[in-house]
Amino acid sequence: MGSYPTTKLLQFYVTRQLALINPSEDTGVIINYVNPGLCYTELARNAGFGFWVMISIMRLLLARSAEVGSRTLLHAAFAGEETHGKFLSACEVKE
């Protein structure tokens, strides 16, 4: 679990670099990085007991429904060129 924030940061930088070397004007493709947030789903159903307990507690306190989380995915799918190379979270462009 210790490398999770580093991995997310690396994904963010890779997305930015891909967007930089592949401008949407040339490719017709918009590249963005999407964060749907912590959603109440069954993705952790096969996790070990300790991790499952931790995720369950975080879900009780922080999670949103899968439908609400999917709104950010749809926002990214239909967003315009202003989101190229950007981080999208909660249906907004974030820094």
DSSP letter for each residue of 3-63: THHHHHHHHHHHHHHHHHHS-HHHHS----EEE--SEESSTTTTS-HHHHHHHHHHHHHH-
Q: What is the pTM of this model?
A: 0.78
Cα separation, 86 vs 75, in Å, equals 12
Q: Residues 13-72: pLDDT tens digits? A: 999 999 999 999 999 999 999 999 999 998 888 989 999 999 999 999 999 999 999 999
Q: Which residues are catalytic?
A: 4, 8
Cα-Cα end-to-end distance for the chain: 24
pLDDT at position 5: 62
CA angle (55, 57, 59) in 5-degree steps = 70
